[in-house]
Chains A and B, each alone.
Chain A
């Protein structure tokens, strides 16, 4: 080592020494290992981001589809189609679960959290339209269980291995659930406004009650939740305000008109009301 330093003034030797160190030094050998490790990790991350984007897009489409239930006669068809789409999304979440097998869930959490939140939003929206209630975290997680017909699990992971088939689960974290539900309120507000436009006078009141419950829930959580929750709480307040205003308008105008004519009045006013309410 010292000898090489001594001749450092002659450029050629220094270069040769450098050349040699690049190919053989233990430091470089160690860094080759790190290179592999980092590349593997980054590749996995990118794959997860890509799946997450697909999930976001499909979930958004499902939500748009579900918004159509307010103005079609047969809601069952729409709901069925939405279920089909959500099944596709679940398959994609299965891919995430596959990627995460044997990994630390939270190491890659940031890669797929946007997609999962969007999925929670879509699935809870369809659940609300069907059952008029809030889907629970368990119900969501219960559907994210996948069977793999592969032979033997090489690592023997402790996820309850059935003979011949392998069970793979994905868990939505409470924070992701919470943020997804916060997004749901925005969709409910839109649904409320458009149902007013369609002359449906019961839905707005149901929605305002439901939104109020969710709002109370979020106020109960307050700032114990993740940072994003407080941001979403602000939007939630605005949505709630709009829905409450809509209900107020319905009540005031509804009392002026005999009950049996109310639907007609709203139907005829739809064209005028809709853009107005949509903005308000």
Chain B
């Protein structure tokens, strides 16, 4: 094989690769659009009026997740299934956002941490790599961390809206999450960087809880609820 032939063979490979990436980029753009729409729906829970509408907002978000499912189904057809990590960078960001959104919806509904299986089910993907398009652990964890900072915001805003109970529940939840993350041996990678931000969220929520308890606000509503 001559040098020229060799290079044109490689060139053919490279341009085919670029075409695939172009296709993926298009679908991912659509996904990002839907993710933003879901975020907008969910953002309204920070409004004082939004607290009563949480169930309806969640239902609406769940509807939008159906669109996500079809879009991801489309994405799956754009590349060979066993080359997931070759193009991973293209959808990594949006998949983390979607994990966050799914986790947030599940938290608002049940106040539980979404499992990886649940996220996979909401997004219409797999958990283990062998079965096809899957949710990488690191992406799942990154999504959960994004939710933690969203919850610290929610704690502040729920106080403003007069819900003094919620911050305490959020505090418990975040502490649980924090002790979970402490179990991990993270490398010096983007996930680790994001995890380093978790302590500020924990601190923020603890401050809110502190403010409530010294004023007896939390206890009052709590004991009245108990009685």
Contacts and interface: CB of A to CB of B under 8 A. Distances in A.
A252 interface: no
A128 B9 CA distance: 19
Interface in B104-136: 113, 115-116, 129
A156 interface: no
Contacts of B116: 30
Given A8-B213, A216-B4, A218-B7, A32 B172 contact: no
A224 B51 CA distance: 51
Q: Is the interface of A mostly helix, strand, loop or mixed?
A: helix
A18 B2 CA distance: 70
A25 interface: yes
Q: Which of B6, B8, B113, B141 has the most CB of A within 10 A?
A: B6
Given A31-B180, A104-B82, A107-B85, A42 B172 contact: no
A275 interface: no
Contacts of B6: 134, 136-137, 217
Given A1-B172, A107-B85, A224-B11, A34 B3 contact: no
B222 A6 contact: yes
Contacts of A8: 168, 209, 213, 218
A152 to B, nearest CB: 19
A5 B169 contact: yes
Interface in B201-227: 209, 213, 218-219, 222-223, 225-226
A243 to B, nearest CB: 15
Interface in B158-206: 165, 168-169, 172, 175-177, 179-181, 183-187
Contacts of B175: 18, 21
Contacts of B83: 104-106
B217 to A, nearest CB: 12
Interface string A196-226: 0000000000000010011011101100110
Given A1-B169, A28-B180, A30-B180, A6 B13 contact: no
A34 B14 contact: no
A8 B14 CA distance: 61
A34 B11 contact: no
Nearest to A213: B3
A21 B176 contact: yes
A28 B169 contact: no
Interface in A145-195: 174-175, 177-178
B24 to A, nearest CB: 14
B3 A28 contact: no
A37 interface: yes
A276 interface: no
B26 interface: no
12 contacts: A5-B169, A21-B172, A25-B176, A34-B137, A104-B83, A106-B85, A107-B88, A133-B2, A137-B6, A175-B14, A221-B11, A224-B14
Interface of B: 1-4, 6-11, 13-15, 18, 82-86, 88, 113, 115-116, 129, 137-138, 141, 165, 168-169, 172, 175-177, 179-181, 183-187, 209, 213, 218-219, 222-223, 225-226
